[in-house]
Structure 1
Amino acid sequence: MSALVRVVEKKGVPEGLNMLQGIPDVGLVGVIATSHIIFHLKMEAVAYIDSDLLPTLTVLYAGLPHSPIRIFGNDRLLALVSEIAIPANALRPVMKAVVDWIERKKVDKVFSLGGIAAP
């Protein structure tokens, strides 16, 4: 894992699950869809991304501060959602840390939800 970026686990994460990924893109489709799934499956925050490469900001949810890039999970599924656009200089180290974490957790499949620009 990159020394500049770390995935911090708040709870135990089972191995061998599938994962959804929603990162800001065209129209925010991935973020909206992933957040909707997290809400309706009542998934809990199990980890977050910590890095000095990311903007210094906090997301407030239910009056509590949270990291803008979080991983949610239950006993069947994981979901990574970012509520910020990841800066270009941070994109590679952040994704490398996430991929390293995914490999350690033996994630079976990763589904990246996103939009496609149309003229």
Structure 2
Amino acid sequence: MARIDVRTEVSLSEPTLVEGFPGVGLVGKIAADHLVSVLEMTHHADVHCESLPKAASFGAGDDGLRTPVRLYADAENDLLVLQSDVPVSPDAATEFAECVDDWFREESVTPLYIAGLKRERPTEDDPAVFGVAAGDGAALLDRTDVPEPTDAGIVSGPTGALLNHALATDLTAVGLFADCDPRFPDPRAARAVLEDGVAPIADVDVPVDGLEAHASQIQRTKERLARQMNEEGENSSQAQRLRMYQ
């Protein structure tokens, strides 16, 4: 059985939702966690789905338990964030999408799905961000300077499952992919997604200096999860370039 249990009512109009399932480079996870922290977002709802990992998490300085997949809300910015403390399989992500589909439509929620795009070679350049769209998402990308992908590719893992569901059901959604180092958590890629994609689409001012200033700390605290995601394979959200005759 799938359900969303609202903990704290938050007044939202036509909110944008930022998805933060762990994936390659933990790009979406870092971006989601950063938004929840810097915007001091409200723990709005708990997500319960049969295929989600049966686990309970807890936060620093808090003796209360919580579900590992949660929704946070910010009424001022009309923003939702999906925060996940656990890797999620594509099957679980598909069930999640089906679970919240009616709610998305009733509440006029527009999801932004984020994935790391494995960088082909080391570089000191700022991470490139690319955008794709389902439904009327192309109009949202027009608000940004995010370009179309330069190569053909495929999105796998939970983010791929969510985008597949959006495509199959004609749900308006945007996919944002940032070049990242697949071996480690990549705060620079998360910053690029927030600055180039999330901020202009959601029309929200996102302070991002902390991501650069605390990059080493973020990498240390999330390296264990990053290693687990590399081992999970198909459970890890990632965008991949497809080469001719691959």
Shorter-chain-normalised TM-score: which range?
A: 0.7 to 0.9
- Partners of 2:49 and 2:95 within 8 A in 1: no
Unpaired stretches in structure 1, ≥5 consecutive residues? none
Q: Secondary structure at the match of 1:20?
A: strand
Deviations 1:47-83 (A, max 9, x none): 1111232222111112221111100001121111111
Whole-Å separation in 1 of the counterparts to 2:73 and 2:43: 6
2:67 matches 1:67: yes
Unpaired stretches in structure 2, ≥5 consecutive residues? 121-246
**Which AA in structure 2 matches 1:39?**
S
Whole-Å separation in 2 of the counterparts to 1:89 and 1:114: 17
Aligned to 2:101: 99
Aligned to 1:114: 115
Q: Which has the higher strand share?
A: 1
Q: Secondary structure at the match of 1:47?
A: strand
- Partners of 2:8 and 2:42 within 8 A in 1: no
Q: Which has the higher helix share?
A: 2
Deviations 1:30-61 (A, max 9, x none): 01111011100000110111123222211111
Q: How does 1:47-58 map to 2 (within 5 A)?
A: 47-58=45-56
Q: Is 7-16 or 69-78 further displaced after alignment?
A: 7-16
What percent identity do the matched residue pairs reach? 25
**Which AA in structure 2 matches 1:110?**
P
Deviation at 1:118, TM superposition (A): 2.6
Q: Aligned in 2, Cα 1:44/1:91: closer, same or farther, shift over 3 Å?
A: same
Whole-Å separation in 1 of the counterparts to 2:57 and 2:47: 13
Rg larger in structure: 2
- Partners of 2:32 and 2:81 within 8 A in 1: yes
Q: Is 74-83 or 6-15 further displaced after alignment?
A: 6-15
Aligned to 1:35: 33
Q: Which runs of 4+ in 1 moved over 6 A?
A: none
Whole-Å separation in 2 of the counterparts to 1:113 and 1:91: 13
2:11 matches 1:9: no
TM-score scaled by structure 1?
0.85
Q: Aligned in 2, Cα 1:100/1:117: closer, same or farther, shift over 3 Å?
A: farther
Bigger relative contact order, structure 1 or 2 (CA pairs below 8 A, ≥6 apart): 1
Aligned to 2:85: 83
Deviations 1:4-54 (A, max 9, x none): 211111122423111111111112110111101110000011011112322
TM-score scaled by structure 2?
0.44
Q: Is 92-101 or 29-38 further displaced after alignment?
A: 92-101
Q: Secondary structure at the match of 1:78?
A: strand
